[in-house]
Chain A
Amino acid sequence: MISWMAWTLPVAIFFSTIGIILVCMTAYELHSPCVERKGFLPISTTRGDRLFIGLLVSAYFHLMYVGLTDMSLWLPLGISVIWLAIVLRWG
């Protein structure tokens, strides 16, 4: 039934992480609803918007990195996590 999806551990970890982030964000939102505000991004955003922008930029950054270099992926991953934190806090 599920074998055709050809699950691999890294992908499973990836989607679980996204899932956990979404659940946490929802819980946080229910606990203390966020207000739209303007940070260093050119538009005013909500928490969810910032998460989306952060993830999308990270995805493009990874693609660029894979396309242009042959180095280990841990480096862009680390940078992305830091970037995500920055966007969520000050974006």
Chain B
Amino acid sequence: MNMTKRKTFGITLYILFLLVPIYWLVNMSFKTNEEILGSLSLWPSNFTFDNYMVIFTDSTWYSGYINSIIYVSMNVVITLLVALPAAYAFSRYRFVGDKHLFFWLLTNRMAPPAVFLLPFFQLYSSVGLFDTHIAVALAHCLFNVPLAVWILEGFMSGVPREIDETAYIDGYSFPRFFGRIFLPMIRSGIGVTAFFAFMFSWVELLLARTLTSVEAKPIAAIMTRTVGATGVDWGVLAAAGVLTILPGLLVIWFVRNHVAKGFALGRV
């Protein structure tokens, strides 16, 4: 089959295009700075873990990862807690202003974070949340909650209404029905939502950097430290970069079977 071969060739080429820059980063993270600057080599000749050791032994470095993971997890939890009931309401009921509310939520997903930068800084300073994890988590809710409502609404619309009605007739109260019957039915939807909430919170830098200074500084902001008086510490920069890719890989591995379904709803 000539056609299939051509397709395989094309997709392989594209995936190579995706992977080569990443390979280059991984490659660099195992090199010494002398080798990086000295000559261009396709694989490290003096294989070294020194760059990673710098990160794992220096608390200003590894605390960045911990900070990022803390606020991302908080964000995922908050997002799911508020978005689940709201998505249920949107998928089951008509109420005054529902369409406009939905549109308003979506505009927040579309609004550039740069617009909110300054007032966010002032807002969180004035309520004493500046430089805390919860501030970043709340700020990221701005774009994650609308997204979560959108995705979950899609999954919930796929569950037939009769299930709700049967449960109510059987004497289930709303909270019990929601927790015991409904949530397990949309498990994969919750997984996909958590995945996207994690992803968008993890990759965002602008808000996270503006709302923190020391205590809750994300890894992405700490990476700028590698630019020192003696030039850029390329090896450590590359190692730090590689370490930021790993959590994403881990998460996508867990939801790999559900992600296609999430995309199938066309709601990302």
What is A's interface to B at a CB cutoff of 8 Å?
A: 1, 4-5, 26, 29-30, 46, 48, 52
Contact = CB atoms under 8 A, between A and B. Distances in A.
Nearest to A27: B96
A48 B100 contact: yes
Contact of A52 (B96, B100, B125): B100
A26 B97 contact: yes
A1 B126 contact: yes
Provide the main secondary structure of the chain B interface. helix
A48 B126 contact: no
B122 A29 contact: no
B96 A29 contact: yes
Contacts of B127: 1
Contacts of B267: none
Interface in B83-124: 96-97, 99-100, 122-123
Contacts of B125: 4
**Lowest 5 A-B CB distances belong to which pairs?**
A4-B122, A4-B126, A48-B100, A29-B96, A26-B96
17 contacts: A1-B126, A1-B127, A4-B122, A4-B123, A4-B125, A4-B126, A5-B122, A26-B96, A26-B97, A29-B96, A29-B97, A30-B96, A46-B99, A48-B97, A48-B99, A48-B100, A52-B100
B254 to A, nearest CB: 41
A46 B126 CA distance: 40
Contacts of A52: 100
Nearest to A25: B97
Q: Name, among A1, A4, A52, the residue most crowded by chain B CB atoms within 10 Å (CB to CB).
A: A4
